[in-house]
Structure 1
Amino acid sequence: MHESATASHVLDFLARRLWSTTGRRVDLAGEHRWLDAPTTTAPTVADGWVTDAASRWGAALVEERDTGLIADLSVFDRPPGSTGRDDLGFSAAALQPAIRDFYQRTAGWRVEVWTEWRPPYGIGGSLISALYGRRVHQLALPVRPLEVSRGMDSRVVRFVGADGASLGSAWLRTLRRTGEFVFSGLYRPIDLPGYAAPMLNVNFPLQHQNLQAYLRPETQPDGSLVLHSGAGRFGDPGTYILITDRGPTVVRVPLHERFTCWTDEEGVLRTDHELKLGRGTALRLHYKLEPRR
């Protein structure tokens, strides 16, 4: 057991060194402040980073029955075309009511999920989950459909600053069948340089590093919601890995996501999540979201 743990820590260290040597130095206190997000010094993530982040920010932790990921979705409002010709814009008021309620009162909703790994990515997903995700209690993407057969339990904890403003929310998701952590992340609006309105920043803390996604929200004509990132330059919406143990270094990785959230013909709120590695679709997830009784 001890030898296995030592080998795992060595692999983690080598992975960080690889990212550090291929990344670019950033100034988290200056022009790259938008990348400043929680990490952890512990080899196991779970929910330990939450109290550390609250202490660092001087924030209070608030956990209520209807705590949401975003205090008010209107913070993302922007007119069509503001980030390019293909940009439909965002209007919180135009969203289907259930979508707005879910994001602003997330803890009051129950989550069911189905997964589908596309070949050959499922092999890599199994290795990552077995050798990394389950060990560190973070990013443990379900590989087998029966792992999520009983759904996920979730907690939402909001960080509230001294002035009463929301600094973001931690969404902690565990498998209902086993209690194991699947995702533990920070959700908050963040301004990217050169963009007129904030993007949704989803940050997953890891030991001396983190994985961050910046997603552009768009309101569709039927009131559904799309959150997406794609290929682009440094500073554009996308996925980044930040390494902090030898001076902050960041790498933009070719991991692209698309969430489509809508209400079906029976009034049930659903979300499709597509994750691409480069141009290939690696994973698809489908969520069924229902208010808690």
Structure 2
Amino acid sequence: MALQDKITQVWVKTTGRRIDAKDFAWLIGPVGDTDIIKDTFVTKLAKEENLEICKNLPASGLLEQIEELGLTDEEMRRLNPRVADFYENTSEYEFEMWSEWKGFFKPFGKILSSVFSKRLQQLNLPLKAIDTAKGLKSEIIKLKCKETQKTKWTIWYRIIKSTDDVIYSGIYTTCKNPNHKTPLLKVIFPLPNGNASVVMKKNIEEDGALLLSSDGKKFGDNGFYFTLTDHKGNYWARFVKSMHEWIRVYEDEENILRADHHLNFYGFRFLDLHYKMTKKSNP
């Protein structure tokens, strides 16, 4: 195991808290190996849980149904149907992406890339807008029960075409946090012996946009978490209250479907990611 991974895991153990997997089931999720993450965890997870790997099936979405987020009837009426379609049929879309690192945070992006991202092939946040000029390669991978064909896990696997680096290899699911009345969206990024999870609450805005936020202030809130395991049933978790994210999915004034992803560190905006989503043309 690399030294930087050991340091991170010691930090989680010493500054986080020991958790019981049963009491904090909403935080538990798939973990990665000690080597390159990339998409290797997909095969490992499918084997461990006896699941079938299905890639890019027609009309595959990050969510099976948008209602999984616990939307009320009023929220469903207000939600832009194109936003719902994107989450339910993500494989039918093509993506363009622009990145913007803010001021003195640019060196942080380079450090993250050299120490963790390039080696693990995970969270390769683009350092320059030109890095994503050729677009993204996007795959929706479903891990399904072999008997019932019911989806257990959904992975969104995205690669920067110009560099062939993995920008995201995230597992999309929902979780029932006891501190919230309705399910939260949870995105799990497997890391060595653990994972990073972004737990987000939803809000349907007046214009029909979907706003997802991980801006909680304490352990148990929506937010950013590191979870670690020793593979013997012991778990530790660290709530990172300095990290906040907002993702707004909306239709702009030109009827183009877009998403704006803002990331803050200690209240300072350090990275903006902007997406343009276009429905694929029928062959």
Q: Please, what TM-score do these two structures have when normalized by structure 2?
A: 0.92
Letter aligned with residue 250 of structure 1: A
Please tell me whether the aligned partners of residues 219 and 226 of structure 1 are also in contact (alpha carbons under 8 angstroms).
yes
Partners of 1:104 and 1:219 lie apart in 2 by 16
Matched, 1:179 2:164: yes
Match of 2:211 among 205, 221, 226: 226
Partners of 1:178 and 1:78 lie apart in 2 by 38
Letter aligned with residue 275 of structure 1: L
Structure 1 position 243, deviation (Å) = 1.3
- 2:216 partner SS: coil
Structure 1 position 111, deviation (Å) = 1.0
Partners of 2:220 and 2:4 lie apart in 1 by 29
Letter aligned with residue 3 of structure 2: V
- 1:258 partner SS: strand
Partners of 1:242 and 1:90 lie apart in 2 by 35
Matched, 1:167 2:152: yes
Structure 1 position 255, deviation (Å) = 0.9
Matched, 1:211 2:204: no
Please tell me whether the aligned partners of residues 114 and 145 of structure 1 are also in contact (alpha carbons under 8 angstroms).
yes
* Structure 2 alignment gaps of length 5 or more: none
In the superposition, relative to structure 1, how do residues 190 and 75 fare at CA in structure 2: closer, same or farther (>3 Å)? same
Letter aligned with residue 249 of structure 1: W
Identity of paired residues, percent? 28
The equivalent residue for 2:182 is 197
Structure 1 position 27, deviation (Å) = 1.3
Please tell me whether the aligned partners of residues 38 and 122 of structure 2 are also in contact (alpha carbons under 8 angstroms).
yes
The equivalent residue for 1:82 is none
The equivalent residue for 1:55 is 47
RMSD: 1.7
Please tell me whether the aligned partners of residues 4 and 115 of structure 2 are also in contact (alpha carbons under 8 angstroms).
no
Please tell me whether the aligned partners of residues 77 and 90 of structure 1 are also in contact (alpha carbons under 8 angstroms).
no
The equivalent residue for 2:36 is 44
- 2:227 partner SS: strand
Stretches of 4+ aligned residues off by more than 6 angstroms: none
Matched, 1:76 2:69: yes
Q: Please, what TM-score do these two structures have when normalized by structure 1?
A: 0.89
- 2:258 partner SS: strand
Matched, 1:20 2:24: no
Farther off after superposition, 110-119 or 46-55: 46-55
In the superposition, relative to structure 1, how do residues 157 and 90 fare at CA in structure 2: closer, same or farther (>3 Å)? farther
* Structure 1 alignment gaps of length 5 or more: 1-5, 80-88
Structure 1 position 92, deviation (Å) = 3.6
